[in-house]
Structure 1
Amino acid sequence: MTEILLIRHGETAWNAIKRLQGHLDIPLNAEGTRQAKALAAALQNEKLDAIISSDLQRAVQTAGEIARLQGIGIRIDAGLRERCYGGFEGQLYIEIPHLFPEAHAAWKSHDPDAEFPPGENTGETTRRFHQRVMEHIYYYARQFMHQKIALVAHGGVLECAYRDAKQLPLNAPREVTIFNASINRFHFDGKQLQLIQWGDIAHLDADDTLDEIDQLK
């Protein structure tokens, strides 16, 4: 069995004002750094065999705080990046329905093959994103069999793992809250992810935590 701690990065300035990040590389803000330090302190008595992080700096900075107290290095993997939202990226959530009404309607319909409008980056459908993320999660689950690892990533990545463990269809509405700097525990039995604990933010002030997509999706 592999123990997997799937962790969302700390808060960014864009999280705080509800501006969609996706692949855009936004650093932690002061609150996010505080959250990452609190997260690292909460985990310092759990021996981690590896820490793997998305290559976006908000995840790398969060992973760095954990690694510092663990006394180990970080492995960087772009396969754990957040979903790319194409032209939605960089926009405030409240602006998206007005800027891209048709694409926004398709997104909210939970169509797993809905495309995003072009932007700085090429968007990913739900299906392509889910496939990319789960290939990488299962790769590390098998590589570190019988060990405990932390994967530091993003809200969308956490949602993919939740859906996989619960065997939910890709077009099902999201049913959980995804907090910054939350700890989400899974086991891998050699075949399938099993959800053990979701949304642990006991190390944070719950009043100051933000959900990934503010329940818009």
Structure 2
Amino acid sequence: MHNDTPTRIVLIRHGETAWNAERRLQGHLDIDLNEEGQRQARALAASLAQEHFDVLVSSDLARASQTAKALGDVSGLPLYIDGRLRERCYGGFEGLLYADIAARYPEEFAAWQAREVDAPLPPGQNRGETFREFYERVTSAVLGWAEDNPGKSLAIVAHGGVLECIYRAALGLPLETPRDFKVLNASINRFMVQDGKLELVSWGEVAHLRPAVLDDV
């Protein structure tokens, strides 16, 4: 049956981790939210408490699933876990500060910064993905969830790289172009999917993260 109602997707980046704060690359390494990230997750959940969602899904990495659980607690929805929504695997870059990556892997770092989308990454604890491999993995995952839930409202909690890919897919941006848009921790980013195509509705909502000016005494 053809469904004319678009599928609504609220795509959320996980809250802050200690590694985000110090610019250390996480990739597939599993880092918990820090105290600020937990605060962000609670603020995010409170701001979405009045919105209706049919499905709540998250990457299988703790920083995303912990953020999603906060939303699950207020919405009462079960949390689905999907490993395809993981951050890009950065191979030998993982666990290093950006400055250390540049020093240790100058050629691969230069190719990464130059957005060579098929450039391989040095091996590490995990096998690195090219940007193109990563893009194909996450766009098919998000579109798959939309296709399986036509006309419904989905909350998907994932990672900065995942948000970047979905933004590019919705706007038709080439993968080679620089990332000239912000991807913020615990931000709310809204999309619609109609006939298998992503459309951007709003990007980078973070007003909910500002600490309340007047706390109840």
Settle same-fold status: TM greater than 0.5: yes
Structure-1 separation of matches of 2:195 and 2:63: 30
Structure-2 separation of matches of 1:58 and 1:98: 28
Matched residue, 1:148: 153
- Name the larger-Rg structure: 2
1:2 to 4, 7, 11: 7
Q: What is the deviation of 1:205?
A: 2.5
One-letter amino acid of the counterpart of residue 150, structure 1: A
One-letter amino acid of the counterpart of residue 25, structure 1: D
Structure-2 separation of matches of 1:190 and 1:181: 28
Matched residue, 2:39: 34
1:110 aligns with 2:115: yes
Matched residue, 1:209: none
Structure-2 separation of matches of 1:63 and 1:134: 19
CA deviation digits over 1:22-54, x for unaligned, max 9?
000000000000000000000000011010100
Matches within 5 A, 1:19-168: 19-168=24-173
Matched residue, 1:202: 207
Structure-1 separation of matches of 2:205 and 2:47: 11
CA deviation digits over 1:124-181, x for unaligned, max 9?
0010000000110100111111111011000000000000001011111112100000
Structure-2 separation of matches of 1:175 and 1:145: 31
Secondary structure of the corresponding residue to residue 95 of structure 1: helix
Matched residue, 1:214: none
One-letter amino acid of the counterpart of residue 66, structure 1: L
Structure-1 separation of matches of 2:161 and 2:191: 16
Between the two proteins, what is the percent identity of the paired residues? 54
Matched residue, 1:215: none
| Preserved CA contact (<8 Å) 2:120 2:130 | yes
CA deviation digits over 1:50-75, x for unaligned, max 9?
10100000000000000000011100
Matched residue, 1:211: none
> Structure 1-normalised TM-score?
0.94
Q: What is the deviation of 1:110?
A: 0.7
Matched residue, 2:23: 18
Secondary structure of the corresponding residue to residue 191 of structure 2: strand
| Preserved CA contact (<8 Å) 2:147 2:196 | no
Secondary structure of the corresponding residue to residue 79 of structure 1: helix
Structure-2 separation of matches of 1:119 and 1:61: 26
Which ranges of structure 2 fall in alignment gaps of 5 or more residues?
Answer: 1-5, 212-217
Matched residue, 2:192: 187
One-letter amino acid of the counterpart of residue 19, structure 1: R
Secondary structure of the corresponding residue to residue 186 of structure 1: strand
1:173 to 152, 156, 178: 178
Structure-2 separation of matches of 1:137 and 1:41: 24
Secondary structure of the corresponding residue to residue 203 of structure 1: helix
CA deviation digits over 1:60-109, x for unaligned, max 9?
00000000000111000000000000000000011111010000011111
Structure-1 separation of matches of 2:180 and 2:149: 29
